[in-house]
Amino acid sequence: MTRALTAALVGLAAIAWAVSAPAFDAAATFQKGSLVISPEAGYGQQFALQHWHDFTGLELANVGVRVGWLPFRPVGPGPLHGSLEVGLEPLYQRYVDPVDAFFAGLGAVLRYHVITLGRVVPYVEVGGFAGGTDLKTAEIRSDFTFLVFGGVGAAFFVGDRTAIYGGYRLQHVSNGNTQQPNRGFESHTGVVGVSFFFQ
């Protein structure tokens, strides 16, 4: 019974997507000069990229609101046809285990949206932030730090100008050798959010 219900729901979702996808005009949504507001939240865990023996094992959560702008009309060949978003984002990151600490900063984010699949819009992104922190671990001990990430994900347009999205980010935190120690650390991070497009 459960398998049949799941199969029926998946089938209905596929039919709904197939019917609605052609009706969605990505070029109209991703118009040059459009503004994009994207509140988002993430969760991540540190991993031992360099196999240090005194690995802290941080868990973290973050929230931010990206204010994006589409400076160009959609470009690119064939299946990579898409739109570049340039964004500015305040970000607050809380370290929740095994220490209680924070990062708060401001950064720039570049996101490239691939707009050839109807309502499903994959993306790639990079971001860089600078801000204050009170994190004191074996990997980093400073009042100022940089946070950078690269990621991939996909958005689904639930309306012509509203999309929900989820993705993966590889995050790196370092103080740029402004203080010692500065091994820095990396984390696997998931992100979810919603984007609102305005012209």
Q: What is the pLDDT of residues 120-173, one digit of tens each?
A: 999 999 999 999 999 998 888 889 999 999 999 999 999 999 999 999 999 999
pLDDT, tens only, 98-128: 999 999 999 999 999 999 999 999 999 999 9
Residue 6 burial (CB < 10 Å; 0-12/13-18/19+)? exposed
Task: Supply φ then ψ for residue 31, to 5 degrees.
Answer: -75, 145
Residue with tokens 């739109």: 83
Q: Which residues pair with 122 in a beta bridge?
A: 154
Are residues 68 and 87 in contact, defined by beta-carbon separation less than 8 angstroms? Answer: yes
pLDDT of residue 196: 98
185-198 and 144-157: which strand pairing?
unpaired
Q: How far apart are CA 26 and CA 49, in angstroms?
A: 39
Identity of residue 143: D
Residue holding tokens 């970000």? 91
Distance in angstroms (rounded) separating the CA atoms of residues 163 and 119: 9
Residue 13 gets the label, from left (phi > 0), alpha (psi -120 to 50) or beta, of alpha
- CATH number given to 25-198: 2.40.160.20
Query: Structural domain boundaries of the chain?
Result: 25-198
